[in-house]
Amino acid sequence: MTEPVEHTAISEYRFMVENHLKVIYPDLDHAAFAQDLIDIMCPDGQCQTPETHQNHWDQKNVVMITYGDSLLREGEHPLETLLHFSEEYLSNTINGIHILPFFPYSSDDGFSVIDYHEVNHQLGDWDDVNAIADKFQLMSDLVINHCSSQSEWFEQFKRGEFPGTDFFFCASPDDDLSEVVRPRTNELLQRIDTPQEPRYVWCTFSHDQIDLNFAEPLLLKEVVKIVRLYLDHGVQIFRLDAVAFIWKVPGTSCLSLPETHEIVRLLRTLIQFVAPQAMILTETNIPNRENLAYFGNSNEAHAIYNFSLPPLLVNALLCGSCQHLKTWMMSMPPALHGTTYLNFIASHDGIGLRPAEGLMDEDEISQMVAMMEQFGGRISMRSLAGGGMRPYEINISLFDAMQGTLEGEDEWQIPRFLCAHAIMIALEGIPAIYIHSFLGTHNDQEAVERTGHNRSINRHRWDYEQLQAVLADDEFSHAHVFKGLCHLLQVRRRQPAFHPNATQFTLHLGDAVFAFWRQSMDRQQSIFALNNVSNEQQIVPLSEINLIGTDSWIDLISGEIYSDLRADLVLEPYQVVWLTNLFDRE
């Protein structure tokens, strides 16, 4: 007699969870703990075996990154305002929204979570979150490396009470911590006097952000309860914030250890058996090779950030040469089906420099850093193993980062800015656009002075009525930027060759023209993306692009048709051309 499908799925589910637990916790009662986790994730016992190598995305997937209070209107929850803006202005442009941590917090603009189970009342409530999830694919942060020093768990720790007493990672000042890699300069350990004895808690990011102890299985169980809660409120993409740091072993780098990867695999298994369309995205701002490891064997992250893209692309537009960009792109493995890249060039943080290590030399990075400072940017530092500091991140509005080149400011800011996004939008992967890129927001120097934090420069809060006024008036750069980006994205959404997993090859048309070819998975559509990254006119003979002579070719952006394939294509400064043989005249 054939075993019921449901029973087969739950058996496989249990088997896989147990195997993950054997790696993470060798001495645990794996069967019993696996059942506890499964009971949390599917209390009704209903699950389904996920299909492998399935793409949960296509060319229509575009994510907007935003804080819950980036837009403010009197008498309305900021999350309500965000939904109104997204429906009115972006319903035909994006399909996903990444709301940065929307929980009660004590610092770091949300990334020091006090309570994972509640919505920050200054933003709205769960009904507001649910309303957004009903209309857009919702991405939420799962901030599990650390939590706030004001959380109930840490209050329990300080009182020596269960369960919080074991929920935080502690070390000794006598431990060998010389190899620890981290992106901050504050003291790593913080002394806390507890009723039993003084203990030294681990603080990767700040003394208000206390690192959690995943060596304690009960903590993992609490995290799984949070995952289930978020699924119940419509979260479809889980962004694992700072996940590379979650497992610590003194005497090592404490970065991307084997247990860390196994926890990511466990979370994927737990989620995909009950929500097959849900995705895991790992946020690992580390050198490129280490970042790629989070794909695993197509069994870890569904998507990883293309962290090397922002510094390489900004550098290309500063110096008018795509040499490093081409070298990097040729070295990037195509994502297997069921995995993809998340492409971005601006976010709530800054332009990370660690992902450029090994791809740009130190003099080039220093040159870029110096020019970004001239354009109003700030520089955040990190501590090096064994002492010393190095630039970690450039904090700047991307719009202001595009003010000029290494030669200084010029008149090409808007075309340069749109060129940067056109490149990112056309690459293999899912594009993610920061709300302040959509709006062409400038550096918010007042916010930096007010908060004392460099990252505040790119976290402006707009008055909604003021925003509506500037978006409606072509006298403002904001209107030109918004219309330009929306046009590019709306064109992208209709092209099968821009599927995140469609074929991609680098073309070699000189250092000033960054060019690549995309081909749809059914091989019916080709798109040649030609991008002038310089402030000078470039001429590209069409004969060098290998266009098929029997097809008609059109630039999807301008609508210009190219019928004479022996002619020259003239690219003005920062002009982008998407040449295709199959097009929608919509």
pLDDT for 281: 98
* Tokens matching residue 99: 């709301």
261 is in an annotated binding site: no
For 190-199, write each residue's pLDDT tens digit: 999 999 999 9
108 is in an annotated binding site: yes
Strand residues in 153-241 grouped as ranges (E): 170-171, 189-193, 198-202, 209-211, 235-240
Burial of 224 (0-12, 13-18, 19+ CB in 10 A): buried
Helix (H) or strand (E) holding 524: none
Chain-wide mean pLDDT for the chain? 94
Q: Residue 52: pLDDT band by 50, 70, 90 thresholds?
A: confident
Angle CA(186)–CA(190)–CA(193) in degrees, nearest 5?
Answer: 160
450 is in an annotated binding site: no
pLDDT for 585: 43
Instruction: Please give the domain boundaries of the chain with CATH numbers for all domains.
Output: 503-580 (2.60.40.1180)
* Tokens matching residue 184: 């901050």
pTM for this predicted structure: 0.95
pLDDT for 357: 87
239 is in an annotated binding site: yes
Q: What is the mean pLDDT of residues 320-333?
A: 95
Catalytic residue set: 241
For 199-224, write each residue's pLDDT tens digit: 999 999 999 999 999 999 999 999 99
Q: Residue 18: pLDDT band by 50, 70, 90 thresholds?
A: very high
pLDDT for 583: 60
436 is in an annotated binding site: no
208 three-class SS = coil
381 three-class SS = strand
Place of tokens 């004969």: 543
pLDDT for 2: 43
Q: Residue 390: pLDDT band by 50, 70, 90 thresholds?
A: confident
Q: Residue 41: pLDDT band by 50, 70, 90 thresholds?
A: very high
pLDDT for 382: 83
The DSSP secondary-structure symbol of 353 reads S
Q: How many CA atoms lie within 13 A of 30 on its CB side?
A: 15
pLDDT for 546: 80
pLDDT over 70 at 4, yes or no: no
522 is in an annotated binding site: no
For residue 445, CA distances in Å to 61, 325, 376, 413, 453 come to: 33, 30, 8, 19, 10
Angle CA(31)–CA(35)–CA(39) in degrees, nearest 5?
Answer: 175
* Tokens matching residue 335: 């994502």
pLDDT for 3: 45
pLDDT for 26: 96
Higher-confidence residue of 566 and 365: namely 365
pLDDT for 29: 96
Residue type, 13: Y
pLDDT for 586: 46
Neighbours of 217 (CB within 10 A): 16
pLDDT over 60 at 360, yes or no: yes
